[in-house]
Structures are given as C-alpha cells and as structure tokens.
Chain A
Amino acid sequence: MKRLASLFLAVLALVAIGVAQAALSINGAGATFPNPMYSKWFDDYHKKNPNVEINYQSIGSGGGIKQVTEGTVDFGASDGPMNDEQLKAFQDKHGFPILHFPTVLGADVPTYNISGVSGELNFTPEALAAIFLGKVTKWNDPLIAGANKGVNLPGNDIVVVHRSDGSGTTYIWTDYLSKVSDEWKNKVGKGTSVNWPVGLGGKGNEGVAGLIKQTPNAFGYVELIYAIQNKMPYGKVKNSSGQFIKADLAGVTAAAAGAAKSMPDDFRVSITDAPGKTAYPISSFTWLLIPSKFSDGSKRDAIKGFIKWMLTDGQNDTEALSYAKLPKEVVAKETKALNQIQ
C-alpha cells in the first residue's frame, strides 16, 4: 500500500514538473558574434519581465539560419544576412517570409598572440588576405613588417585560426577579404562556412579566442568584445582611405553612417570596407531573424516587446560591451517594420 502511494506521488510530481509553465519560454539560436550582448540583454529583460524567458544558444550564425528555417527555434540570429536562396527556402517551407532586424554594430578584429609583442600591429588588406591564403607564413614577412616599422617581429610561423562552425563572423571576415582581394574572391569566396586554405578551427568566437590565447604565434579573427574581455591584443586595419584604424565605437559607427541613410527595406546590407576616413573596414550589423508570422500569440507579443525594448532601453547597454548603437534612422525604420510581425 505504501509503495503504491509513493509511486502515485512520484507520478504526480512528474506531471507537475511537466505542467509547470511558470514562464513563457522562447528559444533562439545563432551568432556567437553578439552573444555577450544578447546574453546580457535577455538576462536584463527577464529581470524586468519575469514571466518571459528568452533562451539564446550561441551555436553560430549558420546554426541560427538553419534552425529557424527548420522551425526548431522561435528566432535566429546571424551576422551574415540570409542570402536569397535561404530566404526562399524559409518562404517555401513556412509560407511566409522571414524578417531581418539589426540589433547592434560590431567589428571583426585581427587578434594575435606573439610573445614580445603586446601592442597594436598594423595590417594592410593585402597582408590579411595573404596570411589567410597561406601565402605569408612568417610573422616577419615583409608584407607585415612593412606596415610595422620599429616592431620586433619574430621569424616564427603564423598559426592561423579560423572558425570550424558556420559563422557570421566568418561571413563578415570573408566578405571583407572578397572585397579587397580578387584572389580570395575567386579561390575561396564569402560565406558562413568556407574552404579555408590554412589554419586551425575553433568552435564559436569563444573557441577561436580560446585557441589563440593558448597557442603562441596564433592569429585569427574574433568579434571585438571577445578580444577586449580576454585582454588579447588586436591590430589596426587599413581602410579604403588609407588610414590605419583600430576597431572602436567611433570607427564602427562611421562605417555604418553611409548605410544608415540608404538602408534597404529588408535591412540586409554589408558595411565592410566602407568609405570614410575614420571608418573601421571590418564592421558589420548583426541581425535577429524573426519569422513574420507566429501561431502562438503570446510568443509573438513577447518577441515584439523585446525588440521594442531592445531598440530603446537596450541600446543604452551596448557601448559598455563595445558594440556600437544602431543609427537613429535604422531604429526608426525598424520600429515601423515591427508591424510586419503578425
């Protein structure tokens, strides 16, 4: 009799766990590029709205695009905007389009781990392309040394590090390299996952930063905040006006200035190698990928509520994490676009 009673209680407890829906759970997945920002935002938003939990998993932009198309997550996130083929795939599968909403501006920085060099190195577009093509293999190669007179670069081999997963950060980097190097464009191309000529693979921005930090003579690209949070040195990049710019809020905002005025309606735009004397050439928007129709009304309202908050209060938190705010024009346009979500 006692055994039966305890069994019954156990079943009851199980059912209770299953039914307990204290909070509305929304799942998103995608880019690691803005993960520090998103995890802070979703945490803060949850504190302000305790009945909404937005669980974001940083599995890479490729994962974000794929899983939101499959419908296994409620929204995605990517720093490489979905291309026409992917947009069509979503439309075909769901019967309605998917929308892009820019959230912040960030930068890919070239970061390195060279003993004896703790300052900022200067990188020309030619040097960056050559290193990642595998044509420049040593740190003291003239292509690098030429821009860094006075710095004692060792003759060690460069350990190139790139992403092993589908990444928007990779998209931004390869998009830039495709613009500045024809050889890169034809040989490798741009995308979230490319056929890298050389290098080790790390999983996520976190994995790449981890690998660079632990491997001497390593060189790779990460989103700015990862280099800062981990106190890793990162270099300046020469922009289209010939200036060596270090990635910071000003440089990234300058890169977005042109795009802000001529932002397309679907918000898909590339701002790498942007014109402007102070523009940082490897900057980018990053987007939330939101389906335009939700069958669950409460989820839709929660997501729209979040985006509204993100466009207003949320923007005040970005600079503390070295992401640049969205330009005013973009914010206004997005607020209007919110109505497209039904």
Chain B
Amino acid sequence: MATTTTTVPSAGPITGSRSFLSRLRDGDEIARLVTFIFAGSVVLITLLLVFELWRESYLPRHKFGLGFFVTSVWDPIFDKFGALPFIYGTVVTAGVALLIAVPLGIGAAIFLAELAPARISDTLQFFIDLLAAVPSVIYGLLGVFVVIPVMRQYIQPGLKSSLGFLPFFQGPAYGVGFLTAGIVLAIMVIPYIISVSREVLISVPRDQREAALALGSTRWESTWKVVLPFARTGIMGSIFLALARALGETMAVTMVIGNTPTISASLFSPGYSIAAVIANEFTEATGDLYLQSLIELGLVLFLLTFLLNGMARLLIVVTSQRGSGMGQA
C-alpha cells in the first residue's frame, strides 16, 4: 500500500453543469455542505491547536524572549526556565538514533528493493510494517528491562574501555542516558526509513540500473553509484520523517533517558527531552510561568516536527515525480 504518494490524479470533483435548483433538489448541495463542514472542522481544529499553544505560552515568551532557548537553568523554585537542556537532549537522542538507523535502514531498503525477489521483499516489508505499529510504551517496557541492563553491564563498559578516550564515552555507566534513549529511538524509526526508502528505490526506473549493468558494473556498483544517487532526495525525505518521529517520542524516551536536565558531551550521561519533561511535569506545574514554559516547549517541539514533516513530504514528492517522469522513455 502506498503510504506516501500524494494526489492520484485519476478522480476528482466532476464540476456540475446542472442548475443549482436541481442540485439542491437531489440533495447534492446538502451533501456538499455537510461534508464541507467536516472537512472544515479539520482546519478549525488545527488552527485552534496552534492558537492555544501560542496563547498559553505568552508569559515565558514575554519574560524570557529568545533567551529561553539558550538558558540551561530549569528552576521551578526561583522561577527561572530555560529550554536548552531539553532541546539538547531531544536533538542528541534523535541524532544518535539516526546515526544508527540510517545505515541499517537504507541497507535493508536496498536489500528489499534491489535484491530480494518480490515475494520475499513483500513479506519482509509486511513484518517491517508491523514493527512500525508497535506502540511507544512497549518499546519503553523493553527498554527498561532489556536495553538498560544490557547497556549498563556490557555495552557501556565495553565502549568505555575501547573508546573511552573520546568525550562521548566517558563517565559512569548508569544504563540510562542519551545513548540508551538513542538506541531505543533508532529501533523505533528504522521501519519508517526502510518503508519509504524501499518505495523510493523501487520507483527508480529500470533503465537506470540496466544501463549501469550494461556498462559492466557489478550489482553493488549499480546500486551505490546509480540507483541510490537517483533516489537521494526521497531517501533524505525518509530520514526527515524518521527524525520528526524521533523528536516527538515521549514514553520510550522518558523511561530510559534518566530525566535530568543536563547538558553533557558524554553519551552515558542522563538527560531530558522536551516531550519527556512535559510528560513528567505538566500535571503538577504550579504557577503560571512554570506551566506556560512547558507549553512553550510544546510549541517548540510542534514547530520542529512541522518543519521536518513539510520538508520530508516535499523531498519525497520530488523524487517520485522525477522517477515517474523519466520512466516514460
């Protein structure tokens, strides 16, 4: 099932040439109005959401202004709030997640699109779609009981002894922290990278590959040097989609990140993400500035994911159109 193609140009509104009265008699105008109300409500709800987020964050916006984004203090007692630790944590965990998920995801997509026979490719894709359906809290559950102990007992000490000279792998091995959250996020976003990249790779026209092979390249060379570059923009789109998903993740992250607003070069350090701090502190933020600072964080997150999603769709559309445009030759 095509998950990301936009408009399929086959059907559309048949512009009526019948008179308004006859349309009304047949109930068409009513149907049009009713369905318009439903469609319009979607727009209304979205507008209302953005408006609420903006309105309910005016206190910190006026008090801290842009300084909100570069302050790293989060002190409810002295009413000082800064978003930097949360932005840092969100970005770092998403970055780690992509570092792991992108090579794995693209590799798997190459296998599914280029190598595997259609039946196997479809079956494996089916399973990968199921993986995408696993809810966040289940990843969190496994994170707490499987990933954290493994990290604490094997992976973190292992990284420390082999690569401990790097600032990323220093500090005590708690088990929780940026690295753990990044790994759990990586598992969560791999399916998105795989399914979109696979679609994009499949849509690369056959003659590109065949031309490369005809010139004597190996399978791998034709994939790496011809097909992949052709699909590059679409794959970028899949990465942006995955990034958007990773940034907004709440439950799995809050269960494994350590919930401490810290900025540290070490990936072993506990940290915090925007979504996690909102989940932990929203119901108890006494004081309007506190609550609205959390809402401003929500607004920031919303804007980030909005931008990324927009860019992602643009890139994917561009690639599909290129593919279908050139494939007509």
Contact = CB atoms under 8 A, between A and B. Distances in A.
Task: Answer yes or no: A and B touching, Cβ < 8 Å.
Answer: yes
Interface of A: 29, 59-67, 69, 86, 89, 157, 159, 164-166, 188-196, 199-203, 211, 214-216
Given A200-B258, A215-B174, A66 B77 contact: no
Contacts of A192: 284, 286
A166 B258 contact: no
Contact of B175 (A166, A193, A199, A214): A214
B209 interface: no
Interface in B124-152: 148-149, 152
Interface in B43-86: 73-78
A204 B295 CA distance: 22
Contacts of B260: 164, 196, 199-201
Interface string B201-212: 000000000000
Contact of A191 (B76, B259, B285): B76
B283 interface: yes
B280 A189 contact: no
B149 A62 contact: no
Nearest to A29: B283
Nearest to A217: B172
Contacts of B285: 62, 66, 166
Contact of A67 (B152, B270, B283): B283
B287 to A, nearest CB: 8
Contacts of B78: 189, 195
A136 to B, nearest CB: 14
A91 to B, nearest CB: 15
Contacts of B281: 62, 164-166, 193
B259 A60 contact: no
Given A189-B78, A215-B152, A201 B283 contact: no
B64 to A, nearest CB: 16
A137 B286 CA distance: 32
Interface residues of B, number: 25
B176 interface: yes
A98 to B, nearest CB: 13
Interface in B279-308: 280-281, 283-286
B284 A214 contact: no
B284 A60 contact: yes
Contacts of A157: 172
User: Chain B at the A interface: mostly helix, strand, loop or mixed?
Assistant: loop
Nearest to A57: B283
Contacts, number: 87
Contacts of B176: 200, 211, 215
Contacts of A188: 77
A207 to B, nearest CB: 8
A64 B76 CA distance: 16
A62 B78 CA distance: 16
Contacts of B152: 215-216
Given A86-B286, A166-B286, A195 B259 contact: no
Contact of B77 (A67, A86, A191, A215): A191
A62 B283 CA distance: 8
Contact of A66 (B75, B272, B284): B284
Contacts of A199: 260
9 contacts: A61-B284, A66-B286, A67-B284, A189-B77, A190-B77, A203-B280, A211-B176, A214-B148, A216-B152
Contacts of A203: 254, 259, 280
B284 A193 contact: yes
A202 B76 contact: no
A261 to B, nearest CB: 31
A59 B284 contact: yes
A63 B76 contact: no
Nearest to B270: A200
Nearest to A64: B284
Contact of B258 (A64, A65, A165, A201): A201
